[in-house]
């Protein structure tokens, strides 16, 4: 009986996952309107389902807020020479801790939650392939290290199975101003 109880407890603990609210007391406090404002640069790697870092990239990000809507204009350059762009639109949902997120290659509306130094963003990304496209669920977890450095880890899943991972660092340049699109 004790063995069954121990096995059940281990199973329950292993099924629980880390929630954004677990970071409520962590500092510095992550305010998307503050961090995602101005000129940013991202450096990252894309890992396949086996954990192999198959690609790397650098991205220039111009970020600004106007009338409560944040725009993140991302220009990627991958190590194989492929350029890619994505323009995110973030809107606070009115409760101070959740946001809606959209982009051209994101299906529907992503949801983000902020607590302490963390922001978790969940969305469905459409990835273009040579012979079509594939939709993957993305679990984006961002952690503010200091006022100008953010670490991001993303897990991509298809049918609940991990198919890839993205690791990146975003550096904010607070002295460089960016103008918002009209």
Phi, psi of 58 (to 5 degrees): -125, 140
CATH of the domain at 58: 2.40.128.20
Specify if 21 maps to a domain.
Answer: no
Beta strand 53-66 with 106-115 is unpaired
Q: Which domain holds residue 47?
A: 32-173
What is the tally of structural domains in the chain? 1
End-to-end Cα, the chain, rounded Å: 67
pTM of the shown model: 0.88
Tens digit of pLDDT at every position of the chain (182 positions) = 565 554 544 454 445 589 999 999 999 999 999 999 999 999 999 999 999 999 999 999 999 999 989 999 999 999 999 999 999 999 999 888 999 999 999 999 999 999 999 999 999 999 988 899 999 999 999 999 999 999 999 999 999 999 999 999 999 998 888 887 76
């Amino acid at each position: 009986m004790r063995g069954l109880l121990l096995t059940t407890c281990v199973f329950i603990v292993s099924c629980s996952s880390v929630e954004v609210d677990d970071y409520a007391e962590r500092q510095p406090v992550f305010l998307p309107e503050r961090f995602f404002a101005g000129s940013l640069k991202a450096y990252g790697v894309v890992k396949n389902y086996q954990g192999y870092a198959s690609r790397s990239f650098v991205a220039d990000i111009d970020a600004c807020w106007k009338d409560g809507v944040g725009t993140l204009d991302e220009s990627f350059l991958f190590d194989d020479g492929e350029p890619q762009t994505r323009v995110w639109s973030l809107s606070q949902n009115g409760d101070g801790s959740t946001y809606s997120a959209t982009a051209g290659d994101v299906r529907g509306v992503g949801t983000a939650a902020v607590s302490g130094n963390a922001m978790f963003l969940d969305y469905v990304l459409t990835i273009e392939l040579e012979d079509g496209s594939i939709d993957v669920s993305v679990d984006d977890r961002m952690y503010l290290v200091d006022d100008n450095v953010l670490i991001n880890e993303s897990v991509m899943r298809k049918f609940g199975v991990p198919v890839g991972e993205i690791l990146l660092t975003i550096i904010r340049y607070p002295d460089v101003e960016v103008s918002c699109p009209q």
